[in-house]
Amino acid sequence: MYLNFYLEGVAGILGTTLSLLLYKQVRMFWAFIISIVLTFIGVLCLLLFQESYVSSFWIKPFLIESARECPYPDQEGRECNSYYLGYVIPTVVFVAKVGVNMSFLNVYQASFG
């Protein structure tokens, strides 16, 4: 539970920093487009992985050594896909949260700009 709050804070800091950098570089219109596209990519990936339209086995090489091997006997089955979903879903939610924070800051800047 505490890890979720830490990741929420990190996503807020990262989203704010990226939004400010984008605003300085490409101005408001493209900063909006980029933040909304990032949010859309995160939400789309969440939908695709959660509904098992796309396999979550791609994350295996990015995990630490102790988490790479699925603890279930059927290495390519539904249980292992669910095991790796435990790592994929927080990752795509983090990406979506960064996009949402960027969008929020862009709206805040636009309201006073």
Q: Determine contact, residues 42/93, Cβ cutoff 8 Å.
A: yes
pLDDT per residue as tens, the chain (113 positions): 677 788 889 999 999 999 989 888 998 889 889 999 999 999 999 999 888 888 887 788 878 877 778 787 776 777 888 888 888 888 899 999 999 999 999 888 888 76
Instruction: Let me know: does 105 contact 19? Beta carbons within 8 Å.
Output: yes
For position 100, what pLDDT does the model report?
A: 93
* pLDDT for the residue 95: 92
Under DSSP, the state recorded for 74 is -
Domains held by the chain: number = 1
